[in-house]
Structures are given as structure tokens and as C-alpha cells.
């Protein structure tokens, strides 16, 4: 029984992490209809920035996390303004080719700078080990992830639902032409959202170094996971991707624990079945465009 609860806990932490990693993609892919396969590259960038700051420059872990967010967001906005912007109206094939190209470049570049082996971030002592709560083993690091990611999720939902920016974004997504007719600066809204999504990915990358492992192949290895979260979760709200991440996280952890031989088989099958059953995602609505 306690093993089940521990697995559930780990799965939730894993799922929360996936959500933070992928929710930027939910906006670009789900809302802006741009196939961004290079999303993992931004996550990797954040992870490596955090690693360099903590391990080589001796920054405290919690001070490095915001910087991972900022650096990924900066890279994101730079690329959005210079390159991505021109591709919003292009065909999906062009978008796929372009972002695969970016992914390959990022993999080789990180390999060149940091080497191809897996890197670890030195964690403060307070985050290591685990403690017992009613007999259930709770990892401190995973608990921190759940807290941080939970707060972020609530924050995001509030921003989207309650603020002026949130309503602008929703309007811009629903009908860009009408939105710009109403005086909303649509490209600016998209650029800002894109950068924020990249920043979140960077933060997720920094947090995931301990759990998912961080090496130059990160963007390729986890690309499918991010895509699953978005396509299965649908794009009507952030609740869909959130639930999809939790499902995926719990499913993957349980799958690896109970049927280790089946590997990622369960996840892929689940994804294909769900996509056949509901092409717009479990919680999706028919595409607006």
C-alpha cells in the first residue's frame, strides 16, 4: 500500500514537472498552431545555465532557478523576433523542418560546449534524501517540485482567467484578425507568451536535471513527451495539458515500476489510442482554425 502511495507521489511530481516543461508548448502548438519541435532545446538551455551557475560559479540552487527562467526566456524572445515570427503563416511541413533543424543544432552545440555525458546539479543538503509521512516515503526534492509547479499552475490559471493580459491572449488566439481590429497588439502578445513559455521550459529543465537526467540529447528524448502532453491535453485551457501531464507522469512511473520490461510501450500505445479516439485531445474542442 505504501509502495503504491510512494509511486503515486513520484508520479505526481513527474507529471507536474512535465506540465511546467510542456505548457509553453501548449500555447505555441495548441493555441498559436505552430509546430515547435525545438521546445525541449529551451528546457535544455535552462538546465545547463542552472548547472553552470550552481556547479561552476557556486550560486545557491534557488538563486539559479530564476536565472534559468530568465535566460531561456531571453533566448526564446530573441529567436521569436528574428526567426520564428516569419514562420507562423507557413505550412506545418516548413515549421517541422525548421524546428528539427534548430533541435539538431542545439544538440550538437551543447555537445560541443559541455560534452556528451549526463550532468548533475549539486543540490543543497536540505533537498536531499526523503522523510516518512505516515509510512509513505516522501522525497524532499520531489516535494519541492510539487510545491513550485503547483504554485506556478495556479498562478498561470489566474493570469489567464483574471488579468487583462490573459483576456488579450485568449482573444488573440480565438480570432487574431478581430483581436487586432480591437487594438490588441497580437504579435506582441504572441511574442511575450512565447518567451514566457520558453522561460517556463527553462525552469522545468533546471528542475528536471535531477529526475529526468540532463544531457545534450534531452530535446530529442523528451520531445515526444511534450507533444503527448499537448496533443492529448488539447488546447482549450491549461487544465487539459495539466491533467494530461499528471496522467502521463503517473502512468510512466507506474509502468516503469510494475512492468519494467514494457518500457515506454504503454505510453505510446495510450497516446495513439487517445488520438484515434479523440483527434483533438482528451479535453480539447474542435480546432478554431
Partner 1 sequence: MGAASDVGYHAQRQARWHYGEIAFWLIVLACGFVFPSRYLIMTDILRLALFTMSLDLILGYAGIVSLGHAAFFGVGAYAAGLLALHGIINEPVLALIVAGLAAMVLGFATSFLVIRGVDLTRLMVTLGIALLLEALAERFSNITGGTDGLQGIEMQPIFGQIPFDMFGKAGFFYSLAVLFVLFLFARRVVHSPFGLSLRAIKNNPLRAAAIGIPVNRRLIAIYTLAAFYAGIAGALFTQTTAIASLDVFAFERSADLMLVLVIGGTGYLYGGLIGAVVFRMLQELFSTITPQYWQFWIGLVLVVIVLVGRQRLHRWVLYVPNLIIRQVAGRKAVVAVPESDA
Binding site for partner 1 (CB under 8 A): 29, 35, 83, 86-87, 90-94, 96-98, 100-109, 111-112, 220, 223-224, 227-228, 231, 261-265, 268-269, 271-272, 275-276, 279, 287
Contact residues for 28 (Cβ-Cβ < 8 A; gap 6+): 34, 36, 39, 193, 194, 197
Q: And the C-alpha cell for 111?
A: 555537445
> Are 166 and 159 a contacting pair, CB within 8 Å?
yes
Q: Are 42 and 194 in contact (CB under 8 A)?
A: no
Rounded Cα distance, 36 and 163, in Å: 27
CB closer to partner 1 out of 41 and 54: 41
> Is-contact 278 284, C-beta < 8 A?
yes
CB of 28 to partner 1, least distance (A): 12
Nearest CA among 110, 99, 114 for reference residue 44:
110
What crossing angle do the helices spanning 2-25 and 140-162 adopt, rounded to 10°?
Answer: 40
Cβ-based nearer residue to partner 1, 167 or 269: 269
User: Min. distance of Cβ 61 from partner 1 in angstroms?
Assistant: 31
Min dist. Cβ of residue 108 to partner 1 (A): 3
Beta carbon nearer to partner 1, 14 or 98? 98
Q: What is the spatial distance between Cα 61 and Cα 55, in angstroms, rounded to a whole number?
A: 9
Closest separation in Å from C-beta 194 to partner 1: 17
Closest separation in Å from C-beta 184 to partner 1: 26
Instruction: Return the number of the residue (109 or 161) whose C-beta is nearest partner 1.
Output: 109
* Closest separation in Å from C-beta 129 to partner 1: 33
Closer CB to partner 1, residue 30 or residue 47? 30
102 contact partners, CB below 8 Å, separation of at least 6: 38, 41, 79
Q: How are beta strands 136-139 and 130-133 bridged, if at all?
A: antiparallel
Taking the least distance from each CB to partner 1, the nearer of 60 and 279 is 279
Least CB distance to partner 1 at residue 251 (A): 14
Of 23 and 29, which CB lies nearer to partner 1 in the complex structure? 29
- DSSP, res 235: S
Residue 30: DSSP 8-state: I
Task: Taking the CA atoms of 249, 250, 256 and 257 in sequence, report the sign of the dihedral they define.
Answer: positive
Amino acid at each position: 500500500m505504501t509502495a503504491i502511495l510512494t509511486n503515486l507521489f513520484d508520479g505526481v511530481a513527474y507529471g507536474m514537472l512535465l506540465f511546467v516543461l510542456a505548457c509553453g508548448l501548449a500555447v505555441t502548438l495548441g493555441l498559436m498552431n505552430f509546430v515547435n519541435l525545438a521546445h525541449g532545446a529551451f528546457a535544455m538551455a535552462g538546465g545547463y545555465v542552472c548547472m553552470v551557475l550552481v556547479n561552476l560559479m557556486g550560486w545557491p540552487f534557488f538563486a539559479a532557478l530564476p536565472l534559468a527562467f530568465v535566460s531561456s526566456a531571453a533566448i526564446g524572445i530573441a529567436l521569436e523576433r528574428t526567426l520564428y515570427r516569419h514562420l507562423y503563416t507557413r505550412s506545418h511541413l516548413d515549421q517541422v523542418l525548421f524546428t528539427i533543424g534548430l533541435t539538431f543544432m542545439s544538440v550538437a552545440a551543447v555537445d560541443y560546449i559541455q560534452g556528451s555525458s549526463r550532468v548533475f546539479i549539486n543540490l543543497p543538503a536540505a533537498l536531499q534524501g526523503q522523510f516518512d509521512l505516515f509510512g509513505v516515503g516522501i522525497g524532499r526534492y520531489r516535494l519541492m517540485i510539487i510545491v513550485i509547479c503547483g504554485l506556478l499552475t495556479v498562478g498561470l490559471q489566474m493570469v489567464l482567467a483574471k488579468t487583462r493580459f490573459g483576456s488579450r491572449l485568449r482573444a488573440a488566439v480565438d480570432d487574431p484578425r478581430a483581436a487586432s481590429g480591437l487594438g490588441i497588439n497580437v504579435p506582441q502578445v504572441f511574442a511575450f507568451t512565447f518567451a514566457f513559455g520558453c522561460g517556463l521550459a527553462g525552469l522545468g529543465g533546471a528542475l528536471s536535471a535531477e529526475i529526468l537526467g540532463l544531457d545534450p540529447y534531452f530535446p530529442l528524448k523528451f520531445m515526444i513527451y511534450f507533444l503527448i502532453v499537448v496533443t492529448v491535453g488539447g488546447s482549450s485551457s491549461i487544465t487539459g495539458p495539466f491533467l494530461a501531464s499528471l496522467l502521463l507522469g503517473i502512468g510512466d512511473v507506474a509502468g516503469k515500476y510494475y512492468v519494467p520490461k514494457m518500457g515506454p510501450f504503454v505510453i505510446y500505445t495510450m497516446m495513439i489510442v487517445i488520438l484515434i479516439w479523440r483527434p483533438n485531445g482528451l479535453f480539447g474542442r474542435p480546432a478554431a482554425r
